Amino acid sequence: MANSAKLILEDNTVLHGKSFGFEKGISGEVVFNTGMVGYTETLTDPSYKGEILTLTYPLIGNYGIPGQETELGMLKHFESEKIHVSGLIVADYSFEYSHWNAKQSLSEWLIKERIPAIYDIDTRYLTKTLREKGTMLGKIVFDDKDVPFYDPNKDNLVSLVSTNEKIIYGDKNSRYKVVLVDCGVKNNIIRCLVKRGIGVVRVPWDYDFNKEDADAVFLSNGPGDPKKCEATILNLKKALNGNRPIMGICLGNQLLALASGGDTYKLKYGHRSQNQPCIELGTKRCYITSQNHGFAIEEKSIPADWEPWFVNANDGTNEGIKHKTKPFFSVQFHPEASAGPQDTEFLFDKLLEIIKK
């Protein structure tokens, strides 16, 4: 029989549930994701560092967890080498799983990775609370062993998830090469670049990538407040004086805006899902995108030599920017998907086309 556990929010809301993960008290920022599938990829997304994740889809765990096969020196079915969420909240956990590629249950995986998880929670009520009041700090406790609240956004989370060394992917003799600034990069971003024949040089978040001999700079996704990445922003400011192509995704979008003189702000409850509609400005095209971010660009702050590129059809927030004359562009959503729709993967092709010019 599962042991009891509690989720306590900073507004004193208490929700009672049952444990199916590792039993230790933890604290973090409580957020929600409305995706129907992809919990394996979501839990290993470094952008969730410091978050207690609520999955709104009611049944979780029914297809288990895949094996540890590798590709390009990375885990093939995961977005990083470990789980990054601080805790997991679901409505109903499936103790029996079935999938041709499953090697273990979600519960077994969570316990191995020492991540607490609760089921039998009214996630509809919890999600409505977070939407109405905004994202809140919370904590999972067992046996009334209390832990203090922790605000992850006060820390430089990027420094905790970035690589500590330079890593090379793809053919070392590739005609085209990209230096990827790792702020918490998802594996599938690297896969999307390599499968297009691009060699990738992955460097730490605070590395001066300007000294790298590469055809383009790529700014990855990552967790937390972009303003904490002061070293990255300083390096970007130097890069913006040149003409080498720059592409950014998610946190990379925000960093590009900050480096150019723009501003960012914290969203009320963020965008975390696989069904965010984004309109490409100047066209009638609307793309369904995968997203995971709690901050956004203040569009009015974008300098005159930049322009908005995409906008969120739900709330009108910025979803991308591009320079008017130089080969610099970025998007707030995830064209690499994983999990989610692949409607915007063509943006990697756009980068390759720019490099070839």
Average pLDDT in the chain: 97
- pLDDT at 25 > cutoff 70: yes
Range 73-91 average pLDDT: 97
The per-residue pLDDT for 357 is 86
- 1 pLDDT more than 70: no
CATH numeric code, 158-356: 3.40.50.880
Check residue 2 and give its pLDDT.
84
How does DSSP classify residue 211?
Answer: G
The fold of 4-154 is Glucose Oxidase; domain 1 (3.50.30)
- Residue from 77, 250, 278, 319 carrying the catalytic annotation: 250
Domains 4-154 and 158-356 share a fold: no
> Could you tell me the residue ranges of all domains in the chain?
4-154, 158-356
260-275 pLDDT, tens digit per residue, is: 999 999 999 999 999 9
Amino acid, res. 310? F
Determine which one of 29, 41, 79, 336 is catalytic. 336
Cα 13 to chain centroid, rounded: 27
Rounded to the nearest 5 percent, the helix, strand and coil shares of the chain are 25, 35, 45
Q: Which tokens sit at 324?
A: 């008017």
Question: Does a cis peptide bond (omega within 30 degrees of 0) precede residue 216?
Answer: no
pLDDT above 90 as % of the chain: 98
Residues 6+ apart with CB under 8 A from 95: 20, 61, 105, 107
Instruction: Say how far apart CA 62 and CA 106 lie, in whole Å.
Output: 9
Q: Nearest CA to 39 among 125, 100, 122, 97?
A: 97
Query: Which tens digits make up the pLDDT trace of 103-119?
Result: 999 999 999 999 999 99
**pLDDT tens for each residue of 166-223:** 999 999 889 999 999 999 999 999 999 999 999 999 999 999 999 999 999 999 999 9
Mean pLDDT of 329-346: 97
* Active site (annotated) includes residue 336: yes
Tokens encoding 194: 């390599």
Q: What is the reported pLDDT for 172? A: 84
For 283, counting Cβ atoms within 10 Å of its Cβ (0-12 exposed, 13-18 middle, 19+ buried), the class is exposed
- Answer yes or no: is pLDDT of 144 > 90: no
Radius of gyration of the chain (CA): 20
Do 14 and 6 form a contact (C-beta atoms < 8 A)?
yes
Annotation says 84 is catalytic: no
Question: Scanning the structure block, which residue is given the tokens 């005609």?
Answer: 175
Give the pLDDT score at 36: 94
Query: Would residue 293 show up in a list of annotated catalytic residues for this protein?
Result: no
Could you say which of 77, 84, 293, 334 is catalytic? 334
- b/e 196-219 (16+ beta carbons within 10 angstroms → b): bebbbbbbbbbbebeebebbbbbb
Residue-wise DSSP of 268-311:
EEEEEEEEEEEEETTSS-EEEEEEEEEEEEEGGGS-TTEEEEEE
- Find tokens 């049952």 and name the residue: 18
Tokens of 10: 């900073």
- Tokens representing 213 are 């001999």
Q: Does residue 354 come out as left (phi exceeding 0), alpha (psi in the -120 to 50 range) or beta?
A: alpha
- Summarised one tens digit per residue, pLDDT across range 294-325 is 999 999 999 999 999 999 999 999 999 999 99
